[in-house]
Amino acid sequence: MSLKAIQKINESNINCSVLTKGILPIELSEQSPNNVYGITLVSLSENFRKKYEPGSAPITDRVAALKALHDAGCRTWVSIEPYPTPNIVEQDLLEILHTISFVDKIIFGRMHYNKEVTAYKLRNQFFNQCANVVIEFCTQHKIDYHIKDGTITP
């Protein structure tokens, strides 16, 4: 049904931006070249996914489907938000970035409104450092990026 909706919208000369925690079908590559397709990806840990994103598609499947669309010539992006603090999940942000280094754009944002994040005393420094890692990575790999408001704090 979503494919048909996107096709109808494109027929009206309106571009679509799709974001999912599911698997993007390769048939999207047959739609308007002006559409953009993205996934949410905040961790490579399946244990994290099962706990915090129940019902979402497995991470490797999400990334593989996005890569297939990219390889088919589609514009792709990843939303790395809400990004968790280390007291929620220990992980390497650079590993996530390298996994998605084929995309055209990365959006990064901190996790808000969560008592576990608030309990992490170094959260502001942590998110500032993460944002800088994203900026440097994207600059080096010529990937567009956007750091969400409120992620970097003084």
Per the domain annotation, does 154 fall within a domain? no
Q: What's the number of domains the chain is made of?
A: 1
Mean pLDDT score, 78-107: 97
Mean pLDDT score, 85-114: 96
Distance CA 105, CA 148 (A): 13
3-class secondary structure, 139: helix
Mean pLDDT score, 108-115: 91
Per the domain annotation, does 104 fall within a domain? yes
What CATH number is attached to the domain comprising 18? 3.20.20.70
For residue 98, is pLDDT > 80?
A: yes
Distance CA 56, CA 58 (A): 7
Per the domain annotation, does 86 fall within a domain? yes
Q: What is the mean pLDDT of the chain?
A: 96
Return the residue matching tokens 């005393």: 121
